[in-house]
Amino acid sequence: MKANKAWKKVLGVGLALMLSATALTACGSSKPQDGASSGGKTATTGTVAKIKERGKYVVGVKYDLNLFGLKDPASGNVEGFDIDIAKAIAKKILGDENKIELKEVTSKTRIPMLKNGEIDSIIATMTITDERKKEVDFSDVYFMAGQSFLVKKDSTIKGLEDFTKGKKVVTAKGSTSAKNVRENAPEAEVLEFENYAEAFTALKAGQGDALTTDNALLYGMAKQDPNFRVVEETFTEEPYGIALPKGDTEFVTLVNDLLKEMKQNGEYDKIYEKWIGEKPQN
């Protein structure tokens, strides 16, 4: 009888241990199940959160475009319209416009650099297009330009109709400019260079009859060299947007709200007048 009672006691302890183990296993398995069900990008992994954690906003900008993003070879500083917009975003997120890292991009490298996480956004005279929207998200338009041509002061070129067979146009790789010229002046030969600085050097060397890009950029080039002028005619509308990681709606909303705020409080106008002056013709 005593042996029977002892046996029952052993069974009871064993059953209790089994139930405890089952409960612990269930509790332990609940964590990965929750994580798996959340999936995708969460609030803690969004770009804004990463910027705050890093303590620095990393943005892709141009280094070779007067007025928008130009590096001073003496000081090493990069300045321009796009740079001041970037500083405003840094201030909005981190409370300090100097908590920023500027990384050089070209028309060719900017989207790959954003997609692989090297930069948080692109502020680099980037035209909003349906094709680009497949890879990145855009803010609202922060600058409206129009494509035109930079020519020598004594050039007779007045517009697209002058780009007949034999005429050469230089521009940067990866920009919409080359595509637009090929569509609108199919007889002209288009020569593409790594960036606009190289394209401008080629124009000065006589390798082309004109350089094409958005007129806002051309005005900056003309300021650098008084031997060149900007053709008044524009043949496209080029809405510039800030490119942001695809699907990061939190970041898009933050940037759009900031742009609206800057336009309402006059900060945008101050930056515009500081760098651009008179608005380009569209």
Question: What is the domain-level CATH number for residue 60?
Answer: 3.40.190.10
How far apart CA 176 and CA 162 sit, in angstroms, is 20
What pLDDT score does 234 carry? 93
Residues 135 and 250 in one domain: yes
Instruction: Give the domain range for residue 172.
Output: 147-236
What is the residue-averaged pLDDT of the chain? Answer: 86
Asked, for residue 108, whether it belongs to a domain, the answer is yes
Asked, for residue 23, whether it belongs to a domain, the answer is no
What pLDDT score does 122 carry? 99
How far apart CA 213 and CA 223 sit, in angstroms, is 15
- Does residue 125 surpass a pLDDT of 50? yes
Asked, for residue 55, whether it belongs to a domain, the answer is yes
Is the separation of the CB atoms in 146 and 236 below 8 Å?
yes
Residues 182 and 231 in one domain: yes
- Does residue 12 surpass a pLDDT of 90? no
What's the average model confidence in pLDDT over 248-273?
A: 97
Which range of 8-22, 26-40, 115-129, 219-233 scores highest in mean pLDDT? It is 115-129
Residues 81 and 117 in one domain: yes
Asked, for residue 39, whether it belongs to a domain, the answer is no
- Does residue 197 surpass a pLDDT of 60? yes
Residues 173 and 56 in one domain: no
Give 66 or 17, the one with higher predicted confidence. 66
Distance of CA 5 to the CA centre of its chain: 78
Asked, for residue 13, whether it belongs to a domain, the answer is no
Q: How confident is the model at residue 50 (pLDDT cuts 50, 70, 90)?
A: very high
What pLDDT score does 228 carry? 97
Is the separation of the CB atoms in 93 and 109 below 8 Å?
no
Give 276 or 278, the one with higher predicted confidence. 276
Q: How confident is the model at residue 16 (pLDDT cuts 50, 70, 90)?
A: very low
Residues 125 and 167 in one domain: no
How far apart CA 68 and CA 77 sit, in angstroms, is 13
Asked, for residue 15, whether it belongs to a domain, the answer is no
What's the average model confidence in pLDDT over 134-139?
A: 98
What's the average model confidence in pLDDT over 252-277?
A: 95
- Does residue 26 surpass a pLDDT of 60? no
Asked, for residue 220, whether it belongs to a domain, the answer is yes
What's the average model confidence in pLDDT over 123-140?
A: 97
What pLDDT score does 8 carry? 44
What pLDDT score does 28 carry? 40
Longest dimension (CA), the chain: 120
For the chain, how many structural domains are there in total? 2
What's the average model confidence in pLDDT over 18-31?
A: 40
Residues 246 and 137 in one domain: yes
The DSSP result for 6-39, as a single string, is HHHHHHHHHHHHHHHHHHHHHHHHHHHHHHHHH-
What pLDDT score does 276 carry? 86
- Does residue 134 surpass a pLDDT of 90? yes
What pLDDT score does 146 carry? 92
Asked, for residue 95, whether it belongs to a domain, the answer is yes
Q: Tens of pLDDT along 160-187?
A: 999 999 999 999 998 889 999 999 999 9
What pLDDT score does 277 carry? 76
